[in-house]
Structure 1
Amino acid sequence: MFLYKLLGFIFVGLAALGVFLPLLPTTPFLLLAAGCFAKSSDKWHQWLISNRTFGPIIQKWHEEKCISCSTKRVAILSIVVFGGYSILFAINELNLRLLGSLVIATGLYFVSRIKVCSKLTMAD
Structure 2
Amino acid sequence: MRIFWVSLGFLAFGLGLAGILLPLVPTTPFMLLAAACFAKSSPRLHDWLVSHPSFGPAIRNWRHHRAIAPRAKRLSVIAMAAAFAISVILGIGWQILAVQAAVLVVMGLWIWTRPDGPTQP
- The TM-score normalised by the length of structure 2 is 0.75
Partner Cα separation in structure 2 for residue 69 and residue 22 of structure 1: 21
Q: 5 Å matches for 1:1-124?
A: 1=1, 2-19=3-20, 21=21, 23=23, 24-92=25-93, 94-119=94-119
Partner Cα separation in structure 2 for residue 16 and residue 102 of structure 1: 27
Return the offset for 1:78: 0.7
Contact 2:68 2:111 in 1 (8 A): no
Contact 2:67 2:114 in 1 (8 A): yes
Partner Cα separation in structure 2 for residue 27 and residue 120 of structure 1: 19
Alpha carbons of 1:22 and 1:69: their partners in 2 closer, same or farther (altered >3 Å)? Answer: farther
Return the offset for 1:96: 2.2
Partner Cα separation in structure 1 for residue 62 and residue 92 of structure 2: 36
User: Aligned to 2:90, what secondary structure does the other structure show?
Assistant: helix
Aligned sequence identity (%):
32
- The TM-score normalised by the length of structure 1 is 0.73
Q: What are the ranges of 5 or more consecutive residues in structure 2 without an aligned counterpart? A: none
Measured on the aligned residues, the alpha-carbon RMSD in Å equals 2.7
Task: Tell me: higher relative CO, structure 1 or 2? Use CA pairs within 8 A at least 6 residues apart.
Answer: 1
Return the offset for 1:76: 0.5
Return the offset for 1:110: 1.6
